Amino acid sequence: MSKIIDIIVKDIRFPTSLDNLGSDSVHVDCDYSATYVEIFTDDKDLKGIGLTFTIGKGNDLCVACIKYFKPLFLNKNITEIEKNINSLWRSCTNHSQLRWIGPEKGVIQLSVAALFNGFWDLISKYYKKPLWKYIIDLKTEDLLNKLSFTYIDDAITIEEAFNIIEGKKNNIQFETQLIIKNGFPCYTTAVGWLGYSDEKMINLTKKYLSEGWTHFKIKVGLDIERDVHRCKIIREIIGKDNLLMIDANQVWSVKESIENINKLKEFDLYFVEEPTNPDDILGFKKIKNSVGGVKLATGEMCQNRIVFKQFLENKSLDFCQIDSCRLASLNEIIPIMLIASKLNIPIIAHAGGVGLCEYVQHLNIINKLIISNNDTYLSEYAESCSEHLINPAKIQNGNYITPTESGYSAIIKDESIYKFEFPNGDYWVSVSQ
């Protein structure tokens, strides 16, 4: 029986700020980064890989946090971890001392995400299945026992969750064949980072349009007149039949959000993402009630399942944007999906960064096959840093191609680790001299 013999965690940072990649109204100098966890077993051919996405400084804090968790898992065998993954998860999210710098938010949540993404990767590799396949093959009661419903059982009961999943499994063979054949639809953010010139934005939009993309998102928020200008350019290129979304990345106040969205809604926006502070549930509701039916999306900065519960029950959002690393892995992601399914609110996962597209391709499939009954299926895709991954997400005609390899997919190449590990990788040593 394979057991855990070591857990190594690394600070990997890519200098993406040099090309304005990821730039938005708040994050103007993103160095896309990963807290990167390697879980070693006594089987040299079996290793779990997990990560959480950050944008540079602070990545070291997540690394330090995971080192505190390491002793909880050494010498445990894989089936023991699989059986007790919910209680082990709670031992980290509610660590008697570390929870004081949480609880279940911030550094703690990001760190638990990296570690447990690694364990889910390890478990699915142990069974020689892609993660999505491992999850949908579980008996419903076994799956639910692995998840955390603490603090949210007033929004979704175990019985309700059971009935949702069992109801979906009636058509699972047919739906699985469809998702393998057709993939999962996505939109691109890559055309409209805020630091891009008009020329670059125009060229990228035309390129993606020619490749079959029909959904486009651009960043806004620093200058409303500039925002109007950029939206006009994109809408003219993509035409009236394709979809346009905008993302303000939390920069506006509630009053500014209302004013600016009303100025921009002439461009037939599919949704506006994060117009204001990501914790302002009541503020989002005020905006929704004041912008003439323009839909709102949020979630990439939501701290945990409890915040999502409030957003969903209060109908303060129209599209729920779960993030595979902001949330503490599948243990709380799937319960959020179940609440959204109960309330008939679509999941449109946040992705991009380092490894997020690789993770959400599994989450999208899980949601579609065994959870959601909503007709809206869409997810984000941004090609950032894919060149550093061994098996990056594959896209065809604006659709994620269903992954077939064992595990959770997000594995960074050894050569990229050697070059970009902070602060002693070859690149970071060279620029510090």
Residue of 129, 350, 362, 368 marked catalytic: 350
User: Is 35 strand, coil or helix?
Assistant: strand
Nearby residues of 171 by Cβ (< 8 Å), 6 or more positions away: none
Helix (H) or strand (E) holding 50: strand 47-54
Helix (H) or strand (E) holding 342: helix 330-342
Give the closest residue to 398 by CA, choosing from 247, 193, 194, 242: 242
Q: Note if 350 is an active site residue.
A: yes
Distance CA 424, CA 108 (A): 25
CB atoms within 10 A of CB 8: 13
Residue 49 φ then ψ, to 5°: -125, 130
Query: Tell me, what DSSP letter sits at residue 130?
Result: B
Residue 284 φ then ψ, to 5°: -60, -40
Residue of 215, 219, 288, 362 marked catalytic: 219
Distance CA 189, CA 68 (A): 36
Give the closest residue to 84 by CA, choosing from 43, 145, 23, 167: 145
Distance CA 425, CA 420 (A): 5
Distance CA 300, CA 53 (A): 11
Place of tokens 């047919």: 174
The gap from C-alpha 11 to its chain's centroid, in whole angstroms, comes to 19
Catalytic residues: 219, 350
